Amino acid sequence: MLLPESVQPKNSIYYNGAIVLEILLQERSIDFLELFTEVRKVHDMSLGVFVLCLDWLYLIDAAILNEKGDVELCS
C-alpha cells in the first residue's frame, strides 16, 4: 500500500518515492546506484524500498530507465 494505516508515513512508498523524485528533479538523469547513494544521504532507505519506489514512479510515468541504464525523470 502506498499509505498504509498501520505504518508510519515515513515508511510508506509514497513518502520515500517523493524523496527519490526530489533527487531526480535535481539530476534529471542519474545512474541507479548513484541515485541510491544520493537518496541514502537524505533518508535511511533500504534497497528494497528504493526499488519499490522506482517501480511506483515508473507506473505513474514519473521516471524511466533509459538505454544506458540510468534512471531518468520523465518530461
In a domain, 45, yes or no: yes
Task: Record the cell numbers describing residue 30, joined without a space.
Answer: 542519474
pLDDT at 2: 57
**Residue 68 backbone dihedrals phi, psi, to 5 degrees:** -80, -10
Task: Record the cell numbers describing residue 75, joined without a space.
Answer: 518530461
Range(s) of the domain holding residue 42: 9-73
In a domain, 2, yes or no: no
In a domain, 13, yes or no: yes
pLDDT at 28: 84
Number of domains in the chain: 1
Q: pLDDT of the chain along its 75 residues, tens only?
A: 455 677 677 878 889 999 999 999 998 889 999 999 999 999 999 999 999 999 999 999 999 999 998 999 987
Report yes or no: 69 and 21 within 8 Å, Cβ to Cβ. Answer: no
